[in-house]
Amino acid sequence: MHYRLSTLAFAFVLAAVVAGPARAQEEPEGQAAFTRTMRPVISGRLYAVSSMKPQATEAAVRILEAGGNAFDAAVAGQAVLALVDPSLNGYGSDTVILIYDAKTKRVVSINGEGTAPKLATIDWYKEHNGGKLPVNDSLLSGTVPGVVDAWFTLIDRWGTMSFAQVLQPAIEVAEQGFVLPAGLARSIATSRKLQKYPSTMKLYWPGGKPPQPGDVFRNPDAGRTLRRLVEAEKAASGKGRHAGLLAARDRFYKGDIAREMAAFSEQNGGLFRYEDFASYTAEVEQPVSIAYRGYQIYKNASASQGPAELFALNMLEGYDLRKMGLNSAAYIHTSAEALKLAFADREKFLGDMDFIKIPFDGLLSKDYAAERRGLIDPDKASLELRPGDPSKFMKTPEPLARPVTVTTEGDADHVGDTSYIAVVDKARNMVSFEPSLHSSWGTGVVMGDLGLIFNCRGDYYSLVPGEANALAPGKRPRSTLQSTLVMKDGEPFMILGSPGGDDQVMRTLQTLVNILDFGMNVQQAIEAPRWSTRAFPASPFPHTMYPGDLSVENRIPEAVQKALIAKGHKLTVSGGWTMGSNAAIMVDVKKGFLSAGADPRVDAYAWAR
């Protein structure tokens, strides 16, 4: 029997939220910022799920209750997330995933970043598009979707269920619909991008009018696309489970679905062709990691900004952050300066490892971090991009000449849009799954009658030859997608992630430090006041840098704000609950329970049993 979270169960969680304090209670400097939270910590012994939408959390729970494991549940949850959070992720998404396989006790990275079409070259954009990349709009900003192959990789290698089982909740949502929230209705109604494309208007403005809040919104085309995968699986199931799963996957990338996507692209000015889909594969990779205060912190290695968080943590490990005090001027200044240096190295060294060499042995060296730490002036904000030279810290030193372009022109956005789901099961398998269309509504183009929109990650490439993230056919862009997996003494400790473009690293870093350095529980760590900087090149074209930029939520005390300005930061103060969209699950191996947290700044929801 399928298990569903009852209305009463979710009402209990909502009641706990409403009953919580309207204002956090502060504690002495250097301690956990507050003891009570806007939302409760959700604890359980068997499993936990936290995602950006309650329907996705429910779908994952349904699979876990039906006997599936974390890998099955993560696919089911994201398949629903794609429908109920459609401006931020979908079946045309790219993705990065970190997993812990309890059977082999290994941490593994799944790189589901999309690749550039084979027709996409720097010269093509110079000749046909004025030397510019279209920013989050049109098929010319897209990359090949990676999320469906990531589904296949998860359930084929580590899962137990079929596509028919894990996609059933999403098929029901696609065909039966869900009640449209006001925010999503407003996004559909006001997005100029959606209104440019007839195929998109057909789906999202049925009858020529935008749906209204409270309407039941359906995506029957997406439902038919999912059913086609299930049909292919069923037809090949006589050859075994793997053959069935592969047949479903291949129908998307090599079968009639791929041919329809290719034909639509060619008819509508895109560069995607059948071979781009047929040759695509998500990659299973070794993640990179560092030790930080006795914990092992893992990040996706290739085509991801994630390692920049490790660069920053290595620098911050040399400070007594607790003594500085949570969100003191010294703490925020030091952390922001470390992030600037980390992102300078991101800009010079990180990219697709199938195309470039990343000198991780130097970049992750504690000695290199000490050298970089020496550049942080405790009294002055830096205004320059300062990449380092890790070559002398490499096992085999070699020159690392690589161009880096800095511009303060344009208005490139550092924030971006993404979604997220985290799952831990009773065996303590862990899945940290970050799917994305990159910017709101991705390319904006619904692909024919398939009910899906491609991600627009192609606007991340550099058009400067030789740069780490320079465009090349078949290359994956260096994505902002990243999440974090933490181990302690060889046992699973935590997974966490956050939407938010370039800001993702800052959100996950602050959540992690709040727990490891300031002793917060998972919900306190998520809800604590936040800061952010844009004092480095933005990922989207034209990669604008805003020297000295720093933002804080207005819950940061005014005295701290003034002290930061005195250090030379160009400070912006935002609303008290505006900088974050985190979700996380912590594992207490000794006591045998899980703690899940979800960000009240957005619609994120956690559940555990």
Give the residue numbers annotated as catalytic, written as ranges: 418
Whose tokens are 């991600």? That residue is 455
Give the tokens for residue 193: 């991008």
Amino acid (one-letter) located at 549: D
From residue 33, give the alpha-carbon distance in Å to each of 164, 523, 580.
46, 11, 16
| C-alpha distances out from residue 219 to 203, 207, 321, 467, 536, Å | 7, 14, 49, 40, 39
**Number of Cβ atoms within 10 Å of the Cβ of 60:** 36
Which parts of 205-328 fold into alpha helices (H)? 220-236, 241-253, 256-267, 274-278, 307-316, 321-324
Helix (H) / strand (E) element for 593: namely: strand 593-598
CA torsion angle 324 327 329 333 (round to 10): 90
**Residue 44 CA from chain centroid, whole number:** 25
Tell me the helix, strand and coil percentages in the chain, rounded to 5.
40, 15, 45
Q: What is the dihedral of CA 261, 266, 272, 276, to 10 degrees?
A: 70
- Looking at residue 35, its amino acid is T
Who contacts 84 (Cβ-Cβ below 8 Å, separation ≥6)?
Answer: 53, 55, 56, 173, 178
Place of tokens 């940290």: 432
Q: How far apart are CA 65 and CA 48, in angstroms?
A: 11
Buried b (16+ CB within 10 A) or exposed e, 571-601: beeeeebebbbbbbbbbeeeeeebbbbbbbb
> What backbone torsions phi and psi does residue 51 show, to the nearest 5 degrees?
-145, 180
Q: Which residues of 343-371 are buried (b: 16+ CB within 10 A; e: fewer)?
A: bbbbbbbbbbbeebebbbebbbbeebbee
As beta bridge partners, residue 553 has: 574
Q: Report the Cα–Cα distance between both ends of the chain, in Å, rounded.
A: 17
Residue 133 tokens, joined? 């990349």
